[in-house]
Amino acid sequence: MFHKEGFKIIINTFLIAVVIALGSAYFIENFWIQKSLQVVSIILLILVLQFFRNPKRKTTANKNHIIAPVDGKVVVIEEVYEKEFFKDKRLQVSIFMSPLNVHVTRYAISGAVAFSKYHPGKYLVAWHPKSSELNERTTVVLENDTVGQILYRQIAGAVARRIVNYAKVGDKVVQGRDAGFIKFGSRVDVFLPLGTKINVKIDQKVRGGEDCIAEF
């Protein structure tokens, strides 16, 4: 199963792969060059397919749990000052996605969208300390009666060139459902109230829509 954000790219890549494979067979006589080009076209198609895969995830809804919004590795767990929306101290949990990870963004809690804003910016590597403030990004705040408000931020990396965000202010959202997509490498920061119990550790790998990263 593939994400809808990848349909156009998948089709275009497939057509390019077919043209390269057929063109090399008809116009290139050297066997090794011909086969090399065909192999490269197949590898390119496979990479694009795996990047836009959208595996089904079974979310066990729990109003006290914050689930991982994306697949990847936990790279930051620290108390920080969140200056865009809360303007106070929060617990930040950051998840880095390599190009090999699933890049679907999922809602960490059920509730309502209280804030959603896109910021143009730079394309520093996603693990850079300033990427959360300087890179292209979207900021979304979700709220419900159990956890109050939490903020997550989709951040483009050095390779990522497009962030897709479906969250609109006033939307009612469901934990684990599709919230967007980040194309070709990225990171997501989650900002939680102080005192939240964190259930993950640095370098731990998590699965979006399934793993509980924090709880109340």
Whole-Å CA distances, 10 to 7, 43, 44, 118, 129: 5, 13, 10, 26, 33
Q: How far is CA 81 from the centre of its chain?
A: 23
Closest listed residue to residue 196, CA positions, set 66, 97, 50: 66
Catalytic residue (choose from 24, 41, 131, 186): 186
Based on the residue annotation, tell me whether 186 is a catalytic residue of this protein.
Answer: yes
- Beta-strand pair 111-119/137-144: antiparallel
Neighbours of 70 (CB within 10 A): 28
- Find out whether 116 and 139 touch, Cβ atoms under 8 Å: yes
Active site residues: 186
